Amino acid sequence: MKLLEAQPEIAPGAPPEPPHDVPQETPADPGTRTCSNCGATMEPGQDWCLTCGAAAGPADPTPGRRAAATLLGLLALLVAGAVAASYAALREDQTTPPTQAQVNAAQVDLAASFAASQPLVAKTGRMTSAVVTIQNLGNVTAAGTLGVNLYESHDGTLNTASDPLMTGIAGRSIHIAPGHSIRVRLAFTAPASPAPGTYSLIAAINSATQVADANVANDTAVIGTRA
């Protein structure tokens, strides 16, 4: 058996009841705030909470203002970093002593050596020749004149007072750049005595250049002989 829902009795002639309104949510006013103390809603421009009496804090900045504030903060950090880096570089420049360029004095260094690496063949009584290399080990050009003498030595040590002079040249004009060399051929007749292999040949150079030869220790060269 179906139960019927009781309908409210309406007196004859009475107006019908109006329909019940559905409550609508009121959108929040973007300018409203809440009390930080009790959470009550506060109207724009309200300086005190009407519920608890606490002072109202500042309203939240708009998103645009927050972005601008963030950008300004980043710019301030960048400027501060650039200033700090510039100051550090300036301090380093002030504390680091300047590097002084090293200037080498002009120097000529003529060194003598024999072109041959093996003992020189010397046939008794026959004409032969020895090639002497003169190299400039200095840092400026050797310009002037050069002399080269060839001596016979029995102990490999030059003694101009006792060692016979076999041949030589004098007053040859030279212009030898740094690191470069020239060769001088000296022709001589091998002596009949002593026998080849029992004596050595010593080449000795002497020069007169615009910048004087600074090292005379390498102005002589020694080579042996063989039959």
The CATH number of residue 199's host domain is 2.60.40.10
* Domain extent at residue 216: 110-226
Number of domains composing the chain: 2
Mean pLDDT, the chain, integer: 83
The answer to whether the CB of 223 falls within 8 A of the CB of 150 is: no
Q: Per residue, what are the HEC states of 137-200?
A: CCCCCEEEEEEEEEEEECCCCCCCCCCCEEEEEEEEEEEECCCCEEEEEEEEECCCCCCCCCCE
Amino acid in position 200: S
* pLDDT at residue number 29: 56
Q: Identify the band that residue 39 occupies on the pLDDT scale cut at 50, 70 and 90.
A: confident
Looking at the predicted structure, is the pLDDT value of residue 41 above 60?
A: yes
The verdict on residue 80 lying in a domain is no
For residues 118 and 201, state if they share a domain: yes
Nearest in space to 140 (alpha carbons), one of 109, 181, 171: 109
* pLDDT at residue number 107: 94
For residues 146 and 43, state if they share a domain: no
Where do the DSSP E strands lie in the chain?
33-34, 41-42, 110-114, 120-121, 127-136, 142-153, 165-176, 181-189, 200-209, 220-226
For residues 62 and 130, state if they share a domain: no
Tokens of 168: 């030589």
The verdict on residue 89 lying in a domain is no
For residues 46 and 138, state if they share a domain: no
Looking at the predicted structure, is the pLDDT value of residue 1 above 50?
A: no
For residues 49 and 140, state if they share a domain: no
Establish whether the linkage from the previous residue to 16 is cis, with ω within 30° of 0: no
For residues 117 and 220, state if they share a domain: yes
Looking at the predicted structure, is the pLDDT value of residue 10 above 70?
A: no
For residues 136 and 213, state if they share a domain: yes
Q: Identify the band that residue 95 occupies on the pLDDT scale cut at 50, 70 and 90.
A: low
Amino acid in position 190: A
The verdict on residue 178 lying in a domain is yes
Q: Of the ranges 58-72, 165-179, 197-211, which one carries the lowest mean pLDDT score?
A: 58-72
The verdict on residue 86 lying in a domain is no
Residue 170: HSE in the Cβ half-sphere, 13 Å Cα cutoff: 1
pTM of the model: 0.56
For residues 48 and 124, state if they share a domain: no
For residues 140 and 45, state if they share a domain: no
170 or 30, higher pLDDT = 170
